Structure 1
């Protein structure tokens, strides 16, 4: 089928696109190739997609409503995967407007395109950051998420609310995926694994926040891709047993769903760093720092709902995923010279 996928030159977007292309779908890829991080990495990802005859790339910003609506009208996609966003918790502290433009205005433009062009299913990236100040682990889609601790998290929570509105008003099937700390080959340079690997191989110290007392549900990219595609293939439907007097945040009387997509094996940050040391064969020099604003102590995903819905559970061990990343990183940097 024809699928419009935004953020196709991004870490997750490139690999979801490749999966869809290889199974025979037609992918209409959208990306603005902004300079939030090294554009050459985005171009290298894009170069992996352009050889496919069923891939068509459009360089545009989803915040540009006129251009995006024209693309919807021209291509008439059956389904949409929205992975375009301004990412990063810490960046949002200094550049809040970028998050409103991409994550709020851009997402509204996506919803409008889906509404006016009879899209069968919209799948969009939410984030584990929506759980904010909640310390009840593991995080469940049935928990309230009303206390974000960063603007990035607030925009992702807003996306979920906006999607529900369109599911209710226009019967648009929408599914939000709360990704938990995605890592792996072709990852972002602003994320811990990339920065730590780069520094350790160079013999430079790495900054370790909250004195290393952090836990994350690190989720390997292949598991994220598989879960995303399985959900895309199963459009959201109303929860026939929904009780408005006891509303469930994860479902609705409208065709609306939310799922955690995580690894279910929370890993202490120091164990993650050790896995990088093993994979690189080098000892890290640690620069311990206090907790950063907008950060949380721990994340852990309850993924029972996703397992029931599409019979999928993440399974890649951190040690294996980190080794694959380090192998890719060495190859990628050697090729760049």
Structure 2
């Protein structure tokens, strides 16, 4: 067993779902979030708050155009991350830093069509297999937004077993009709289809729905090593003191800089960040709970998932949800997720993703 696997096995019951679930449900760091959870009723007989309409408030500002996306300039290995953690001062936790890291694939739109032979691209016509059906939602075809060749992604060092290492993922979404994702009825507003290598067509099939962008555009892939935020559950299990918590965030920022990319922090200007796997760019720490509630038929509408009486009850099992894909609004590509919503987060049960079962994926737009 390597150092990463050994350390994960030693983190105890809190990570008993396996080494791949180190991105367990995060625990909000803000006092307001903590107070809201502590105030939730303990008995199921308490009536849940009535879901409100799945529309943002009227005073929500339009979504700004994000700063351009950038790819990873310098790939970083686990050994580099360990040295960085030690240099910063987290000497007691260098093994934990590596154990809790995740490798993701950054997706940066190119300037022209994809190179010959590449099946990774934005827009254009999807590689639907013979007899494949273009996904619909509420009686209308979803927009095809792109596809990813998993062989190309796997070659960049994705965590083994997190996804199939061959085949192609086709991504479809309602885009301008995209709901928040907190309602059970939203389940098919974003669809991910997996096409096995032997079923891939030689040429793209008929385009019977909208593609955004309309013409196929190159998509450049690069490997990025990422760390969870300091308030996430697996980091909290380490029992870091106040100084060590600051050092953890310093490692996260310096890791991004070492790779030539910008770290994400709440409140900063919106930056285009598209990536496969890794950690979600979010600060509310409730998307896994939102997915679990919706999967159980519980509709929280546009409300806060943590305010629902069932939130605490599903918190542990909600750890099964893993980020599959994150996309940012892009006017050039024609992506809009609704007024005030900046990103689309696609989640799926971890065991399903590893076995190429993408029927249960859920998307949340924020």
TM-score by length of 2: 0.25
* Structure exhibiting the larger radius of gyration computed from Cα positions: 2
Larger relative contact order (Cα-Cα within 8 Å, sequence gap ≥ 6): 2
TM-score by length of 1: 0.26
